[in-house]
Structure 1
Amino acid sequence: MNTQQHQGISQKVVLITGASSGLGESTARLLASRGAKLVVVARRADRLAQLVSEIKAAGGDAVYQVVDVTKAEDLQAAVQLALDSYGRLDVIINNAGLMAIAPMSERRTDEWDRMIDINIKGVLYGIAAALPVFEAQQSGHFINISSVAGVKVFSPGGTVYSGTKFAVRAISEGLRHEVGGHIRTTTILPGAVESELKHGSSHGASAEFVKAFYQQNQIPADAVARAVAYAIEQPDNVDINEIVLRPTVQEF
């Protein structure tokens, strides 16, 4: 792993949710290679342990904790782990997400609830846990992962998923208005990116549609990792508010 120093990233303490795979894992590896100190959290302890082991073996610095983002106390514990391990928290990346695509006529209200709990409440709980620390430090950076589906409603079957991602975008913008000055807020809105997100649909026809869509369009997760790094490495007086990135071939 390349451990060269990157101004704006080196030595920053970064907490990443949903870090056991996909965008979160790729971002953790890239930021660690650029000198960040990582707190990686997700539900799968084995994947987190492996990630931290590999980061440390490559000369990086990381700790992990099992976290369910639908539980506010879990996010508070993750922020406390950052403080206990490194004495501060500079960036929180609210990345954990669920994409369950199905027509609304299927009335899969359990999936609606799950997406709201993970995609919206999970972001809010991350904000709630980190905000007091950022306010006390008079510095900090929220990076919230939305989606291109938060710019244009994903159709067919993505109505509720898009609703959650539009919400993330709105929450991020409102947060920026409320805490801007010393605290930065960035929304990343990716298109089709290689991750486990595409496996979240239990509705057969929708799952096949999503599978085909990703096969035709997806790009590697490190495309998002580089966008995150770009936002972090800016000088403190520069706040990258939104980054929308799509595969070149993706029309939607």
Structure 2
Amino acid sequence: MDAVDAALEGTVALVTGASSGIGAATAEVLAAHGAAVALVARRADRLEELSARLNAAGGTTLVIAADMAYEAQVREAVERTVTELGRLDTLVNNAGLMILGPAAAATTDEWRRMVDINLTGLMNTTHAALPHLAAAAAEGSRRVADVVNVSSVAGRVAFAGSSAYCATKYGVVAFSEALRQETAGRHVRVSVVEPGAVDTELREHNSPEVQEALTRRFGSIERLRARDVADTIGYVVTRPRHVAVAELLVRPTEQV
């Protein structure tokens, strides 16, 4: 964990999907800014490894194994964060699932799982966190709190072979904007970050054929790295109280 500054000193963040990729990198960035970080994901072993690394660098972490598809687990994760770390200032909804392919060949179980994690899970986590975020904005030294929802380019442009995935990511964008309007007066900022092609494990949920199609689609372009997106999230949540970044689209330079 590289030291950045103390912009988030004394605050607490919760990051979902923190066991790898963008989530793990975001936890590192927020910890480097001084936040205590609750690490939430299904793979507890990965979380423990990340926690040990951040703690060794001087951070404070809390490991919570949870599946975002289950509301009870989501709510327990939020409550444990507040109980054990004392507050909640920043929520990063990053957990996601991407299963691609033609709609006619898909199973509705795959669609349901994506909706449960990408959209419903994100909404449930946010709902559980909102009272605590509002309290942090009203009482904390920074007097502002943040929800950052990780969507995708697929939340702005629909692609063949991605119908259900696009539907969930469009839903994240719409939910984020409506919620932003509701919470702006309380200084709970709501932002949506939309990455383009990122070199993470997300594609590995797909068949070898779909993964090969993705490789052909993006060719030899240099993809974003998880840290690139994490740095973007770090920028969003460290803005002064009067500055809200509502939406950020981040693409690899060569992606069209």
Q: Please say whether Structure 1 and Structure 2 have the same fold, judged by a TM-score greater than 0.5.
A: yes
| Identical counterparts, % of pairs | 40
The alpha-carbon distance between structure 1 residues 62 and 162, as it changes in their structure 2 partners (threshold 3 A), is same
1:178 matched residue in structure 2: 182
| Structure 2 counterpart of 1:111, one-letter code | E
Q: Secondary structure at the match of 1:180?
A: helix
2:14–2:91 CA contact under 8 A, matched in 1 = yes
1:76 matched residue in structure 2: 75
C-alpha displacement of 1:85: 2.2
- Aligned-residue RMSD, C-alpha: 1.5
Q: Secondary structure at the match of 1:209?
A: helix
1:107 matched residue in structure 2: 106
1:198–1:211 CA contact under 8 A, matched in 2 = no
1:210 aligns with 2:209: no
Query: What does the per-residue CA deviation read over 1:216-235, in whole Å, with 9 as the maximum and x for residues that have no partner?
Result: 34221111011000001001
* Greater alpha carbon shift after TM alignment, 191-200 vs 47-56: 191-200
Aligned-partner Cα distance in 1 for 2:211–2:2: 38
C-alpha displacement of 1:214: 5.4
1:220 matched residue in structure 2: 225
Aligned-partner Cα distance in 2 for 1:45–1:215: 34
1:193 matched residue in structure 2: 198
1:19 aligns with 2:18: yes
Q: After the TM superposition, which segments of 4 or more aligned residues of structure 1 sit over 4 Å from their partners?
A: none
Q: Secondary structure at the match of 2:220?
A: helix
C-alpha displacement of 1:108: 1.9
Q: Which runs of 5+ in 2 are unaligned?
A: 139-143
| Structure 2 counterpart of 1:184, one-letter code | R
1:154 aligns with 2:159: yes
| Structure 1 counterpart of 2:5, one-letter code | Q
C-alpha displacement of 1:160: 1.2
Q: TM-score normalised to the size of structure 1? A: 0.93
Query: What does the per-residue CA deviation read over 1:92-119, in whole Å, with 9 as the maximum and x for residues that have no partner?
Result: 1010001100101213211111111111
Q: TM-score normalised to the size of structure 2? A: 0.92
1:43 matched residue in structure 2: 42
1:244 aligns with 2:249: yes
2:3 matched residue in structure 1: 3
1:166 aligns with 2:165: no
| Structure 1 counterpart of 2:121, one-letter code | G
C-alpha displacement of 1:80: 1.5
The alpha-carbon distance between structure 1 residues 198 and 132, as it changes in their structure 2 partners (threshold 3 A), is same
Aligned-partner Cα distance in 2 for 1:35–1:215: 38
Q: Which runs of 5+ in 1 are unaligned?
A: none
How many pairs are equivalent? 248
1:39–1:62 CA contact under 8 A, matched in 2 = yes
Aligned-partner Cα distance in 2 for 1:48–1:146: 22
C-alpha displacement of 1:30: 1.6
